[in-house]
Structure 1
């Protein structure tokens, strides 16, 4: 069964919009785990627009205590600054089970492209090695149609996370055939190179079943924005259980 890792960034966005401690990201993550989620994902950004360094440590402690995966996302090239010690420093403190590297610039609203492995491979290799020395599984954010996707294995990664934004947009527009084929081919290329396959970005209860039916061997999906949106109406516990039913059926 494909694992569900719930991204709780949007809970922190709500908290930060008002100040104070509500809603509580640890309480939200606990509710997701109580409902059966297999892990928790966060992507702390250098500007601390949502998840902060102290949240990372609190969520890591929760996941370690519960024996579930903690997936920490970030750009390894972003320099440390006040309030953000840098991605490697956070991983050294939090010891996530998985570190997912993304090429997001500081001002980027959300992840919207994968690494250019031909350009970035040499720079990524020592970062991947350092994270694996911390006993983190390393996943690299990748465009499904990238012809160099299999190069992630030579860089030292264990997995790639297929960027599913284009698929979700095509699905919403009514014709996801080409986007699904790109994801399927990307997953096949990754598996042939010995890489595990994760997926994430704009997956929802509307499109998840179609994605998993077409794309083989997806080990984990990381879902946040759509899940929190749906939870506003159905409740967090019920929404997580809805996703788990879709994963079980797939």
Structure 2
């Protein structure tokens, strides 16, 4: 995996560079003390698979950095502060490492990233589980249990039969991490679980949500791809 380190602590960077050099799974593209410069590299290259990211950065902190990317790579947070942990997982980071970071703990984070990266590469079916922040806790959720996702400015809500979750994510970012065999975007503000479709109408579709039917708008630019996808499923 191609990776970059984004950290303004020189000593931390040297340690992380040494750890990356020992890993046969990682290819270090560069180390950046400026998060804006790192962002520019990611948007230009499009082949960065992993960012090892400090939270407390000048100009743009780690959370603003993640939020500024339409399609964030895998993110491992490295920080001296434990207090950001729950907020970090709200941004769907792969792991959260507290400084000083041992080589063993770093290896565990990389192994976890490789497993996560591999699942995305093989087009998952929705059986995968993620952790979603709800109040002070992290709740385990199967992807296939999500019925629809709705955009609300810089947040999205995930609706299941039992609950609703609000996370700090963009639609583009969450769409890139969902299995296309299970989910499809039907509107600039909606992604739906295809297995929950009850009926497709001219400008909307009906989803089964528990014992009720939820009407979801279908955008003109998304309708054709939706119908093509349903046709593929029906063959």
TM-score interval (norm. to shorter): 0.3 to 0.5
**Higher relative contact order at CA 8 Å, sep ≥6: structure 1 or structure 2?**
1
Q: Which has the higher strand share?
A: 2
Q: TM-score, normalised by structure 1?
A: 0.31
Structure with larger Rg: 2
Q: Which has the higher helix share?
A: 1
Q: TM-score, normalised by structure 2?
A: 0.33
